Structure 1
Amino acid sequence: MIAITLVALIALLHIYIMILEMFLWDKPAGLRAFGLELDFAQKTRTLAANQGLYNGFLAAGLLVGLALGAAGKSFVLFFLICIAIAGIYGAATANRKILFIQTVPAILALTAIFIGI
């Protein structure tokens, strides 16, 4: 039950990130969330929308895995590992806080799945 809850929360987090990156990147919420200047955000809006789309795919993968129940465990594991790796890369190349926003929750969910809680 804990594992399912964690996976669902991570999917919701990635839907939120998708919305921020695709639709709110150059709006006050996006500027605040990512610490951006308006000029930079306007120039990188298309790039951010592309990132947002990928975050949406990650969320969709987790949700499909959850919807499949036990048969979707491999789906969930694959997408959690992708999220953990993306978080490590993001922390190394963009902002360290990405490690705590993406990687740590993914590792917690993976741990919960593997220990069966």
Structure 2
Amino acid sequence: MRIDKYLWCVRYFKTRSLATAACKKGHVRVNQDIVKPSREVYPQDKIQLRKDQINYSLTINDIPDSRVGAKLVDIYRTDTTPRDAFEAQELLKYTKSYYRKKGVGRPSKKDRRDIDDFTSENE
């Protein structure tokens, strides 16, 4: 089975064209080699995949016939991604929502309230 189709079948990508684009950008490796979307994969191959700033690593157990349900994904792959990769993603979420450069974009609700409080105090 092709690597792009496999990644779509085991639900790492929502569409097959997204999986193909990730392969073309060099975000997918099979046995430490950057691969094209048409690369055939076999059981016991090791895949490294970069998606959403997380480096996933998995081992192929079996090849599915078609796209499988979320509950059945573990039959076809073993996920060996370290836990600290997911923890770093959680920390990144908090930093993005907290920090916003001043003067960029529209004011948030909190900014709007602060402006209203400031202007009403001066009147």
Structures share fold, TM-score greater than 0.5? no
Higher helix share: 1
Higher RCO (CA 8 Å, separation ≥ 6 residues): 1
Larger fraction in strand: 2
Tell me the TM-score normalised to structure 1 length.
0.25
Structure with larger Rg: 2
